[in-house]
Amino acid sequence: MSTFITPVLNYAMLAPILVVLAGALIGVLIEAFAPQRSRSSSQLLLAVFTLIVALLALIRTRGTYSNKVAMNSVTFDGAGYLLQMSILIIALIAILLLADSDKFAAAPTAAPGSDEERQAQAANIRVTEIYPLTLFAIAGMLLFTVSSDLITLFVALEVLSLPLYLMAGLARRRRLASQEAALKYFLLGAFSSAFFLFGIAYLYGYSDSITFAGIAAAITGGAANDVFLLIGISFVSVGLLFKVSAVPFHSWAPDVYQGAPTAVTAFMAAATKVAAFGAMLRIFYVAFAGDVWQWRPMLTAVALVTMVFGSLVAISQRDVKRMLAYSSIAHAGFLLSGIIALNKSGLDATIFYLFAYGVATVGAFAIVSLVSDSSGEVSDLNRWAGLGKRSPWIATSFAFLLLTFAGIPLTSGFVGKFAIFSAAYESGNTAILITGVLSSAIAAFFYIRIIVLIFFKDPVEDGTSVVIPSMYTRITIVASLIITLVLGVFPAPVLDYITQTAFFLR
């Protein structure tokens, strides 16, 4: 009979994750017991409070690093610190968008078009489960970036994914599309998770270990069965590449981005990307680094196809949310270059890029949620024509964020692209560099085409207008714009800070 080992947990370091989980649980209680009237505001308050406390708890851990937290399954190091920080900041900005609760289904469990739904709508019921769901997802994301064994990684993946599947189906209008998106996301997510799990099994078979350090040691030792390693890396990659929506595992993204409530899309597109790339950085930099010559060509090919495909297909989109989805696919390609670089500057650049891109994405989707007509949001690009004349401020803000995505100087996007392509160049990967710059050029084409559409086309008179943003949405947009601008004009302090802080404990 084996002895039971008492798990030793470092609560101070786990505090951010625990705080968010606690907040989520309290949210569930509020949902169950608090009166309907006060739910919305108390949930928002709780969520914001939770995130701020988590952020403070995270900052308290600054400078204390360990890879022995929670029985070697979690590693807190510089990179983890920065990634968790990014996720919390982005979540804090994005969660304010949820405050516009009339965007979410009144009775999510009722079938679309049913009597039950009509009654719920007539009674003006607002459902606020979305807050605890978001907090659960955030907790999963925080854990995802610091997991240092494959089982914890898988648990974190599921903790972050399951709430997102639900959240995608919560749209108040066009509920069928929303539910279809949720179901697709769930099915495909489950499918890719299966690959992921399969890959974990092979990696265990190869290395006789589930920790990253153990796998790294096995690769360095080099005695074990290479085929197991090969299958393991491939299939674990499939799971991660699915999450970051790299081609050919991207197909869920446009449908889900379009169908999900815009506020959810904003959170999902920004925070999930940080978490998934964070985990990917760790596993490739720590566990698989010794085998780089095997996976680098494979990942390079994926990155190249992703950049080109995302940029090309974005051009022919007629829907602003789908366009942003393809743009995020293209960005996934650019971000992959940072992982492939497998050097210190690649790590720094990827973290900067993730944060900058995440913040800008939240802002862009926040603006998309404002453009609407009597029946809800208008995401048809043709109806955005002439927006600059009707709402110059909103149009200018959107144009600025598009320029960020395009990587025009004086925006954070430029700094990020520059850093990441420099890292790729440093690692000698000219194919990535050339393709990256070319697809950036293609991408600039469709971003700027939208700017032309907004500012230089005459408006169509079809009742499309911009709703006056609520205070919360306004904070989101302004915060996103300011961070984007500051990171674009004075990137040096942040870049320096990242350079000093970012590292992986092996």
Partner 1 sequence: MVTSSSLVYLIGLPLFGAVFLLLMGRKADKWGHLFATAMSAGSFVLGLLHFFAMTNRSEEERPITQTLFTWIEAGDFKVDAALLLDQLSICFVLLISGVGTLIHIYSISYMSHDENRRRFFAYLNLFVASMLLLVLGNSYLNLYVGWEGVGLASYLLIGFWNQKPAYATASKKAFVMNRVGDMGLTIAIMIAFATMGTVSFDGVKEAVDRVGTPTLTAMGIMLLVAAAGKSAQFPLQAWLGDAMAGPTPVSALIHAATMVTAGVYLIVRSNFVFDAAPTAQLLVVIVGAITLIFGAIIGMAKDDIKKALAASTMSQIGYMIVAAGLGPAGYAFAIMHLLTHGFFKAGMFLGAGSVMHGMNDEVNMRKYGGLRKMMPITFATFGLGYLAIIGVPPFAGFYSKDEIIATAFNSGGAQGIILGSVTLLGAVITAFYMTRVMVLTFSGKPRWDDGVHPHESPALMWLPMALLAIGSVTAGYLFTQGEALVHWLSPLFAKKGEYDELMPHSVVTVLAITAVIIGVTAALMKYQFKSVDSVVPTDVSLATRLARNDLGQDVVNEALFMRPGQALTEGIVAIDERVVDGAVRGIGAMTVGSGATLRRTQSGYVRSYAALILLGALVLLAGIWVVTQ
Interface ranges with partner 1 (CB under 8 A): 183-184, 187-188, 191-192, 195, 226, 230-231, 233-235, 237-238, 242, 247-249, 251-252, 254-255, 293-295, 297-298, 301-302, 309, 312-317, 442, 445
- 146 vs 162: CA distance, rounded Å: 19
- 320 vs 313: CA distance, rounded Å: 13
> CB of residue 445 vs partner 1: minimum separation in angstroms?
7
> CB of residue 236 vs partner 1: minimum separation in angstroms?
11
CA 255 to chain centre: 16
Looking at beta carbons only, is 319 or 373 nearer to partner 1? 319
Contacts of residue 402, Cβ cutoff 8 Å, sequence gap at least 6: 364, 447, 448, 450, 451
In terms of Cα–Cα distance, which of 416, 284, 279, 430 is closest to 343?
A: 284
> CB of residue 448 vs partner 1: minimum separation in angstroms?
12
Instruction: Say if residues 285 and 371 touch (Cβ distance below 8 Å).
Output: no
Tokens encoding 223: 């005695």
> CB of residue 393 vs partner 1: minimum separation in angstroms?
25
The vertex-306 CA angle with 301 and 308, nearest 5°, equals 100
Pairing, β 66-68 against β 371-373: unpaired
Q: How many residues does the chain have?
A: 506
Phi-psi region of 428 (alpha: psi -120 to 50; beta: other; left: phi over 0): left
Tokens encoding 7: 């798990």
> CB of residue 308 vs partner 1: minimum separation in angstroms?
9
Tokens encoding 344: 């210190």
> CB of residue 297 vs partner 1: minimum separation in angstroms?
5
| Edge-to-edge strand list for the sheet holding 465-466 | 376-377, 371-373, 465-466
> CB of residue 322 vs partner 1: minimum separation in angstroms?
9
> CB of residue 387 vs partner 1: minimum separation in angstroms?
22
Looking at beta carbons only, is 166 or 502 nearer to partner 1? 166
Q: In the beta sheet, which residues pair with residue 211? A: 149
Task: Tell me, letter by letter, the H, E, C secondary structure of 381-424.
Answer: HHHHCCHHHHCHHHHHHHHHHHHHHHCCCCCHHHHHHHHHHHHH
CA distances from 139 to 18, 72, 277 (A): 8, 19, 16
Looking at beta carbons only, is 13 or 329 nearer to partner 1? 329
Looking at beta carbons only, is 135 or 231 nearer to partner 1? 231
> CB of residue 252 vs partner 1: minimum separation in angstroms?
6
Looking at beta carbons only, is 176 or 486 nearer to partner 1? 176
Looking at beta carbons only, is 40 or 294 nearer to partner 1? 294
Looking at beta carbons only, is 239 or 413 nearer to partner 1? 239
